[in-house]
Chain A
């Protein structure tokens, strides 16, 4: 895959390039500031990009802003945001356009390189990769708690993995269950919650998040 890497810290940028090379990807451009990131994304239109949130010149959320701006220009441009911290607020902003091809992970998710590579490919294919930390926050906040009261523990676990962006097959592997069992869980779960069941990964994440967002 052709990849753009936007990260201002040399060590992390270098490490990321080596990691991606090890998985046979090509880093076509790197960026170290917000404006550079936006330019690189629009110029190269990469298969997927890895973007840090906090970058110069303001050391605020320059990377996130550049990614959102690029996706406004090119809807669905695959972007994987990496950050030292995850916020529901940012996750919601990234998912708001409903176009898919979005990832939002903690930087340490690269510790498990295989899973990271999976997430990257998922995003490149137009799917979603949300960090478990942000999903946990999402599912445990006040309004969600009450809404999810009716779910069993297993259904709750399936819902969380689904919100991360995993397919039924991948959820099955994580929970050591068959794919058909998972699809049975999702059907009853969606019935309970009143969400429209849809096999498309990203649409499923959207459905879950829209449901949780409802006031």
Chain B
């Protein structure tokens, strides 16, 4: 029972970290900080614009795989069925 609760709390912690990164990348870099980031160029594109259009999607994909890998480790740690 205790194991299940710890597993769930670690899972929740991971979800909140993912959501925080999701918010920071999409709203933070793509909207709130778009003007200062636009002063930097990446491959000819303004960085703020690039984050809003492409960077955030790449980050979301990376986040999904990172979450999957972390959850796999968590499953092994708590001997949960994968």
Say whether A associates with B: no
